Structure 1
Amino acid sequence: MSKLSRAAATSQTLSLVAMEEASRLGLREADLEHLLLALVVSDQPAGIALRSTGITLADARTAVESLHSEQLASLGISTGLPDAGRIVFHETGGYEWTRRASDLIGRAAGRGRAGDAAAVLRELLAEPSGLVTDLLERLGTTPQQVLAELARVEAEPRPRQARPRAPGVATGSAETFVPASVDEVWALVSAPGRVPEWYPSIASVETTGSGEETTWAARTSTTDSSGKPVRVRPDRLRCQVELVDSSPRTRVRWRFVYPDAAVRRPVVVEIALAPTAGGTQVSVVQTWVRSTGWRAVVAAPLRPLQRVLLWLAVFQTGSAISRAFRQPHLPSDRDSASYPQE
């Protein structure tokens, strides 16, 4: 991955999570503290380093909320902030970075810097306001300890699995960290009735509860996350969801087909789980069959755009899995002691 692509992917990932976290607090601007929360759940070495110091998302959220309350009290405001609620970023609009947070992310992608989450974390730790230092002290650590842990994590080899490219098939992959145990994540991604919670284009799946099915009828979403109608082709309203294979608590593979489409090009989504410090590392791989014949010739110049769209698709799936466990009603959001440790 080029530096430009890495910086763009990092910015997209951190921006989404930070603004989701800001939306829990009723805010429309994401600032440095929300950037720290996004880094805590990053799948990159920056997130691993923060979690290796013992920081959990639940504890980091508590530290941020405590800091906000103290800041208001210092101004003579005793009413306090409303309790944190659900993530409503996808149902609302008008979110943006504060100027200092935006400038910081820009510096992390500047000359001589990698543009990844580690570069963002280093800039955040060097930020002169003292806000992040204060938060880290509340969490029982210091910028120096985090930097030392980051250096250790970056020095460790990170295995990469090369996936063979099959002719006529497009493949995209993404990694994400989920602040929940493998058992909790498995319960989500292996249940047909819960597919709509992590696969954005599916609105509902019809299940009988017999436990013997491997194929289910589903309906495609006709509204976006904010409730606004979206245009869906008539031949895409029905979908067939098939469980291709699974290995309990390790891997599951789903196949999505539109039975009414004149040309059926199935989409296969494979989700792999592995325990890691503070939760679960989730790998999402999505494949679909490319067009053939004259359609393939016409589509060839659009391959770069197709790769971007494919990455966005797997990114959205991974983000939805993570977001499901960052909503306040889930036990994983309250009980950090249940997380497996490396």
Structure 2
Amino acid sequence: MQILSLAAMEEASRTGSRDADLEHLFLALALSDQAAGTALRAAGVTLARAREAVQAMHSEQLNSIGISLSAPQPGRIVFHETRGYEWTPRALDVFKRAGDQGSGDAAAVLRELLVEPGGLIEDLLERLDTSAADITSALTTVTTSSTVTTPARSTAASGSINGSTETFVPAEVDVVWALLSDPTRMPEWNPSVGSVEFAENGDGQGATTWLAVVPAVHPDGKPARVKEKFRRRQMELTESVPLERIAWRTSYPAIKRGNTNVLAIDLAPAPGGTRLQLTVSWTRRGGWRRLFSWVLRPLQRFLMWLGLFQIGAGISRAFR
């Protein structure tokens, strides 16, 4: 639900709205990497088509009350730069019913959205040349099928703490690869990188090393408080299989015996875009530090998930 909330409020921010409503939730579901998103895209409901339907609906609503202006033209996503977003009561009610009557996942949210009595979703589906029955049938097919294409699973590094997540990106594999494989474009999708500069050839075997500098300010304009020793990171390209997999190792040159981590991203084509699997591996410290790290393991796993969540959202946002 947190992932759906983020995507929906990002979509709301494109038109300057601070209220995320049913249509924004519908757009978020079209982006979902779960069965709900797969079912919508299988029924022809891509993000681009869904956005067009929402825009046309809003324009007609204005005309119906005597306002001959078009609905505000959407711009770029500014949710991460602004504050004050809330769900409308009817959208919150959909979430509540999905939790009370279902598993609370994206599929449960979609099922409740399809029976929402206000008529908004019915209107959108009609504009998209489909129906609630068609979407329900597609959802049933997806949830009972094991044929969904997913990226190859990454192998966990020995002696490390590992975590992974999946996300859907509304762009073709070659376009996504062009973004992820260009180190100078890393600031476009990695929120912890403000700029990148070439450093050197790392191990003499073709691996290229870059220096990444953290942003001086957060997206909302507030200064970023980062200790000096954490400001510069060494980024080493450790694996690159065009259109399939890329991996970056991060270390901190200013910290002796500091931890390193490897971010691996696997790509696979999917209807309407690309499915990504993001895996991060943190090296464990030896000696007494390793024993102490067990106490912090829940916090480490949360930070790991949060980092992957932000990176996945950043990659998706780059194509929206």
- For normalisation by structure 1, the TM-score amounts to 0.87
Question: 2:305 & 2:123 partners in 1: Cα distance?
Answer: 36
Residues 260-286 of structure 1, C-alpha deviations (whole Å, 9 max, x = no match)? 013321111001110010111111101
Q: 1:155 aligns with which of 144, 163, 170?
A: 144
Question: 1:245 & 1:295 partners in 2: Cα distance?
Answer: 29
Q: In the TM superposition, what is the alpha-carbon distance from 1:84 to its structure 2 partner?
A: 0.7
Aligned equivalent of 1:22: 12
Aligned equivalent of 2:304: 310
Q: Does 1:55 align with 2:45?
A: yes
Aligned equivalent of 1:175: 166
Q: In the TM superposition, what is the alpha-carbon distance from 1:68 to its structure 2 partner?
A: 1.0
Question: 1:209 & 1:299 partners in 2: Cα distance?
Answer: 33
Question: 1:186 & 1:174 partners in 2: Cα distance?
Answer: 18
Q: In the TM superposition, what is the alpha-carbon distance from 1:40 to its structure 2 partner?
A: 0.4
Q: 1:40 aligns with which of 14, 24, 30?
A: 30
Residues 258-311 of structure 1, C-alpha deviations (whole Å, 9 max, x = no match)? 100133211110011100101111111011113433333333233222212211
Matching residue's letter, 2:54: V
Question: 2:305 & 2:136 partners in 1: Cα distance?
Answer: 30
Question: 1:293 & 1:139 partners in 2: Cα distance?
Answer: 60
Question: 2:243 & 2:154 partners in 1: Cα distance?
Answer: 21
Q: Which runs of no fewer than 5 residues in structure 1 stay unpaired? A: 1-10, 327-342
Q: In the TM superposition, what is the alpha-carbon distance from 1:159 to its structure 2 partner?
A: 8.1
Aligned equivalent of 1:280: 274
CA contact (8 A) 2:199 2:209 kept: no
After the TM superposition, which residues 129-208 of structure 1 pair with which residues of structure 2 at under 5 Å, given as runs?
A: 129-157=118-146, 166=157, 168-207=159-198
Shift of the 162–65 alpha-carbon distance from structure 1 to 2, 3 Å rule, reads: closer
Question: 1:20 & 1:273 partners in 2: Cα distance?
Answer: 23
Question: 2:117 & 2:189 partners in 1: Cα distance?
Answer: 39
Q: Which runs of no fewer than 5 residues in structure 2 stay unpaired? A: none
After the TM superposition, which residues 248-287 of structure 1 pair with which residues of structure 2 at under 5 Å, given as runs?
A: 248-287=242-281
Q: 2:295 aligns with which of 288, 301, 322?
A: 301
Aligned equivalent of 1:4: none
Shift of the 209–144 alpha-carbon distance from structure 1 to 2, 3 Å rule, reads: farther
Q: Does 1:100 align with 2:90?
A: yes
Question: 2:291 & 2:207 partners in 1: Cα distance?
Answer: 39
Matching residue's letter, 1:202: V
SS at match of 1:259: coil
Question: 2:59 & 2:68 partners in 1: Cα distance?
Answer: 9
CA contact (8 A) 2:29 2:110 kept: yes
- For normalisation by structure 2, the TM-score amounts to 0.93
| C-alpha RMSD of matched pairs (Å) | 2.0
Q: In the TM superposition, what is the alpha-carbon distance from 1:239 to its structure 2 partner?
A: 1.0
Q: In the TM superposition, what is the alpha-carbon distance from 1:165 to its structure 2 partner?
A: 5.2
Shift of the 213–155 alpha-carbon distance from structure 1 to 2, 3 Å rule, reads: closer
SS at match of 2:102: coil
Matching residue's letter, 1:19: M
